[in-house]
Amino acid sequence: MRMVELIEKKRNGFSLSGDEIRFIINGYVKGTIPDYQVAALAMAIYYKGMDSTETAELTSAIVESGEQIDLSPLGKLTVDKHSSGGVGDKTTLIVAPLVASCDLPVAKMSVRGLGHTGGTIDKLSSIPEIKLEMDQEAFISQVKRVGLAIISQTADLVPADKKLYALRDVTATVDSLPLIASSIMSKKIASGANGIVLDVKYGSGAFMSSQKEAEQLAKIMVAIGRSFDRQTIAVISNMDQPLGHAVGNSLEVLEAIDCLQGNGPADLMELCYELASWMLIVGQKVNSVSEARQILDKSLQSGRAWEKFLEFVSAQGGDVQKLLNKDLILSPLKVDYNSAQEGYVHKIDARTIAKCAMLLGAGRETKESEIDLGAGLYLLRKSGDFVKKGEPLICLYTSQSEKLDLALQLLPEGIIIKDHPPALSPVVSSVVR
Ligand code: URA
């Protein structure tokens, strides 16, 4: 087989066979096929797409490029969830202990932030002393004991995806549906859970801009999951404004704790209940969303979900008491951004808030940047809320005053206030199964 002929085949709109795709992925990981040929192929895929068989074969080849986690020693069905990336998205921190407290094991590997979106591993790093690296044996043993482990994706999982993603990032080929779907699903399949619930987001703070695009991506990922015999469903959710009030690592963990203690904001809790319900369904605990909601609500109200979070953090060596000392955890410079006019909030744009969070130090400018875990924004008002002129809209946290100035200059671009209430859209738009 010659790589140049395979590039030409895809460029001319033909499908690649499983053997051809394996030849490419194996050669790329081994270094016998160079970056420039894979970049040309990625661009051909970007323009010509891939059919469902090719996409499943690509996922399979990526999964086979590295270690695969075998969760069968648990002797129980396990479930996993994945978000396609958003702003203020701390759902994993809430949903994972909530579901685990309903006696359904959650074995989760997560990543650091990607682009403008935050990552669960960065958020969890705000918990003093928590350990997020673990070998496979320790990971499985914790899930057996506690019913929940969340760790950093191991270095040997999907090496082909790591190489491909880095290449796509610099060749303008990230936003190709079959490439995104195979990238996300390869990690989920290799992580070993029997059931997978995907949160596919659309809107200004997401990778997908429209609901239609998110549904297309969801359909491809659900089909891949099924082809690997994993129960997979996708919730399509809106990401035009940040989820909940907190954006920034420590702020988000504190908000997740509020949620687990029964004091979560409505939009965030709505999405968490939806995701957790589908996890209980794919994990064969219940048959319907209404049945799931009753069980989840009981677990939250009784304090069991919060206890499960504490048990999980302590199993991984973290100290929640230290985290609850806000003066130590949040960055020291705190400034309110006040409303320039009276009226109803129509827009607090997720992408602008993400950029401000990055400027304040909460995200990485480059792969190597250090992040300020205590930096971020707390939205005191959200879409639909009324605000008087001069009242605070958003509270900003950072450690460096020059960063505050930059964020304060950018914020007005993302805020729209009008004299009448907006039409509000629900956070959960549809479900693809
Ligand atoms: N997240 C991933 O893991 N991969 C992509 O390609 C895009 C988002």
Q: Where are the alpha helices (DSSP H) in 303-430?
A: 304-315, 320-323, 326-329, 350-360, 401-410
* Predicted pLDDT at 307: 98
In this prediction, residue 367 carries a pLDDT of: 67
Nearest atom in ligand 1 to the alpha carbon of residue 183 is 4
Distance CA 337, CA 354 (A): 16
* Shortest-distance Cα residue to atom 2 of ligand 1: 184
Q: Is the CB of 117 under 6 A from ligand 1?
A: no
What is the per-residue pLDDT for 114?
67
Structure tokens at 288: 């319907």
Q: How far is CA 107 from CA 64, 66, 263, in A?
A: 20, 18, 26
**What's phi and psi for 221, nearest 5 deg?**
-70, -40
Backbone angles phi, psi at 427, to 5 degrees: -70, -35
Q: Determine the atom of ligand 1 nearest the C-alpha atom of 165.
A: 6
In sequence order, the 6+-apart residues with CB closer than 8 A to the CB of 398 are 331, 333, 360, 361, 372, 375, 404, 407
Predicted pLDDT at 125: 94
Kindly report the pTM of this predicted structure.
Answer: 0.95
Q: Residue 203 in 3-state DSSP?
A: coil
Say how far apart CA 312 and CA 268 lie, in whole Å.
Answer: 21
User: How far is ligand 1, taken at its centre, from the CA of residue 75, in Å?
Assistant: 30
**CA 184 to ligand 1: nearest atom:** 3
232 lines ligand 1 (CB under 6 A): no
The structural domains of the chain, ordered by start, are 3-49 (1.20.970.10), 72-156+172-324 (3.40.1030.10), 333-418 (3.90.1170.30)
Q: How far is the CA of 178 from the centre of ligand 1 (A)?
A: 11
Give, for ligand 1, the residue of 110, 180, 186, 191 to mutate: max count of ligand atoms closer than 8 Å to Cβ: 180
**Distance between Cα 181 and ligand 1 center (Å):** 7
CA atoms of 352 and 350, how far apart (whole Å): 6
Mutate to test the pocket of ligand 1, among 59, 174, 196, 224 (most ligand atoms within 8 A of CB): 174
Q: Is the CB of 173 under 6 A from ligand 1?
A: no
For the CA atoms of the chain, what is the radius of gyration? 22
Closest to 341 (Cα-Cα) out of 404, 395, 386 = 386
Q: Strands of 376-379's sheet, edge to edge?
A: 246-247, 376-379, 392-398, 333-338
Task: Catalogue the active-site residues.
Answer: 82, 161, 168, 183, 187
Which residue's CA lies nearest to atom 5 of ligand 1?
A: 180
Q: What is the mean pLDDT of each run of 10 residues along the chain (433 residues)?
A: 97 98 98 97 98 98 97 94 94 98 95 77 95 95 97 93 91 92 97 97 94 97 97 98 97 97 98 98 97 98 98 96 90 97 97 96 81 96 98 97 95 98 96 97
- Asked whether 312 and 149 are in contact (CB, 8 A), the reply is yes
409 contacts: CB under 8 Å, gap ≥ 6:
none
CA distance 364 to 201: 21
